[in-house]
Every structure is written in C-alpha cells, then in structure tokens.
Amino acid sequence: MSQELTLQQRLEALAGPDPLRRAVNEAVAALAQASIEISDLTCRGALAGITGQARGRNTDGDVQKDLDVRADDIIRAALGRLPIAVLASEEMADLDILNANAPISVAFDPLDGSSNINTNMSVGTIFSIMPTPSDASAAFTQPGSAQLAAGFVVYGPQTSLVLTLGQGVDIFTLDRDSREYKLTGSTVQIPPNATEFAINASNRRHWDLPVRAYIDECLMGADGMGGKDFNMRWIGSLVAEAFRILIRGGIFLYPGDARHGYEEGRLRLVYEAHPMAFIIEQAGGGATTGRQRVLDLVPRTLHQRVPLIMGSIKNVQRLEHMHTAPDVALETNAPLFGHRGLFRV
Ligand code: F6P
C-alpha cells in the first residue's frame, strides 16, 4: 500500500481502457470532488451557516436539514456534467432522467445521519452506481448484485472515502493540504468473528423473536450460549457504524419491527442497503435481511425500506440461523436454557 497513491491514480490503475469502467471512474471522481465541498461545510458547521435547522420533510417523511439540501445540490451539480442516464437521490421524490442513452446511473443519499449534524457527530454520503438498462427508468429496479461500484464518505474527525469497484474495498483519507483523497487502506477485510454489536436497543420490545434472541445472546455474553462477552455501540449514523465494522468487525442491525412504518426497518434499499451490502461483501462480510441476501433483492420502489443486518460473516450467519431455525431462537431466548441456566448448570 502506498500512502501517496491518490484516488485518481488508483481509479486509473483499476479501470484500464474499458469505456464502461471509465464512465464509472468519472462518476466516482465527481462524487469525491463533491464530497470535499460537503466536508468543508460540515467542518465549518455554524460558521458556514449549517445550523441543523429543519427545512421540511423529504418524500419519505424524514425531516430535511439545511445541509441535506445543500449536499444534494452539490452532488447533483457535480454529476450533472457527466454522461449519466438517471440520478436518484434520497431527497428527490422521483428519478431524474438526464440522458437515457448514457451507460451508468447513480443513486445517492447526500447526507446520511443528518439528524446528528448539530450534535457534531459523524455524517456521510452514500452512493451506488448501476449500469443503465435499455429502459433507463428501470435503472434502480435491478438487484444489488448488478452494481458496478458503491461507496460512502464519512465526515468525521477525518473525512474518509470507502470505495468498491467490485474488486475489493479501498479506504481513502482526505488530505486537506492537497485537497485530494489518498489511499490509506486497500483490500480491506472484515474480521470474520467479532464481539461488538450495534442496534437501537430502545426498540427491543418491538423486535421479532430471532432478533431479540440474537441480541439477548450477545447480552448474556460469556454466561450465554455464545460463550463470549460482547461490547455494544450505537452511533445512529449508518456510515459511521459501517466504517467501524470495516476497521474492526462486528455486526450492525436495523431490523424490521412491530412499530407502524417500521415493518421493513428504517433504511432504504436503493441508496443505503444495496451499496453497504456490496461494500461489506467485498470486504468478506455478510449483509442480509435475516432471511435473504440483500444483494439479491430487486427494489419495487425507489424509496423502499429494507431490514439491514451486516458485518462479520460468522455473526451474520448466526443471526440468519436464528431466523431459519426458530428452535434455536426460542432456546436462546429462554434464560433457563442459558449456559448457567436451570437446565445447563
Ligand atoms: O437513515 C438515517 C439514519 O440516521 C441512519 O444513518 C441510522 O442508522 C439510523 O437512521 C438511525 O436510526 P434511529 O433514529 O432509530 O437511531
């Protein structure tokens, strides 16, 4: 790994002469440029007029903050100059068809986790690049496995760009002096078995049995069936959780639950779950709804929500097992059957 390799150099090395790959590279480079501008704004915060004030609601009912709107404008301006067939953004109700004959289409969440912006927590941009089918309006009704590239940027203490072009995962760090992304991690591999979980535990009473059983097993730690102590983290910012998992493993869950409107979880398939699943799988991890691989899912609608469970492969497989083998979930959920429970002492 060379500390000096820039994103541009890395993209050129990976693309070769293939015109489709070159179109992907141009889009990635434009997204990276846009993210530097967004990073400048997040760093300056209130000094740049970023207050975290609500500006209304997006099409999905989420509160839009001032930076959501600005980040969306910045990304659309950067991508609008390129040969791109369709743009889809969390902030737009419908597809934006630009040039139906162009080879690629881009979906993005301009500012994920923006409810955190005025608390000075990490937020990010997520993107997914698809090949354009013959009917351009069907660009985002392809399975996640069709993605040509996916990435996300975390605006945290450092600004980091995570990228897959389907050949492993690279991490780039923004060098503020040269205003370029530099390669700081290549062929990232998620540890297969980890002892850290992330879930919004305030929703426990709404979860279904397999999720409750899995988390209870984590909480039982060394005294439970898993036999290992776990640590818990919940940042409430998908990009920050995904970055942590890439660095040190663990499992993240935003499952469906019994709350009205949360039957399919909270996260959106096209511009959150699909790109995250592509990245996590490329780094050797797993991404599932509990019952289905996320990359096999074909979106029915642009803003469709989906349960997302992702991270270290063994942890994800254990959770999938609880979904497909209800006896395991039942047994784990009954404290009497725990390692030190009544029937195991
Ligand atoms: O999709 C927006 C988002 O902020 C994600 O980044 C994060 O994982 C989730 O919502 C947090 O949800 P909750 O409000 O339930 O903690």
pLDDT in tens, 251-296: 999 999 999 999 999 999 999 999 999 999 999 999 999 999 999 9
Residue nearest to atom 4 of ligand 1 (CA): 113
CA dihedral sign, ordered 83, 85, 87, 93: positive
Residue nearest to atom 11 of ligand 1 (CA): 236
SS3 339: coil
Closest ligand 1 atom, CA of 240? 6
Q: Which residues on neighbouring strands pair with residue 44, listed in sequence order? A: none
Mean pLDDT to the nearest integer, 31-56 = 87
**pTM above 0.85?**
yes
Mean pLDDT to the nearest integer, 80-100 = 96
Tell me: pLDDT of 340 over 50.
Answer: no
Mutate to test the pocket of ligand 1, among 59, 64, 67, 112 (most ligand atoms within 8 A of CB): 112
Round to whole Å and give the CA distance between 200 and 211. Answer: 12
For the chain, percent of residues with pLDDT exceeding 70: 91
Round to whole Å and give the CA distance between 91 and 69. Answer: 7
When mean pLDDT is compared across 38-52, 154-168, 294-308, the lowest value belongs to: 38-52
Q: What is the pLDDT of residue 66?
A: 81
DSSP 35-64: HHHHHHHHHHGGGGT----EEEE-TTSPEE
Round to whole Å and give the CA distance between 308 and 202. Answer: 17
Mean pLDDT to the nearest integer, 92-112 = 97
Question: CB–CB of 72/271 below 8 Å?
Answer: no
Closest ligand 1 atom, CA of 114? 4
319 catalytic per annotation: no
When mean pLDDT is compared across 17-21, 166-170, 315-319, the lowest value belongs to: 17-21
Tabulate helix, strand, coil % of the chain (nearest 5): 40, 25, 35
Tell me: pLDDT of 335 over 70.
Answer: no
Domains of the chain: 7-185 (3.30.540.10), 196-331 (3.40.190.80)
91 catalytic per annotation: yes
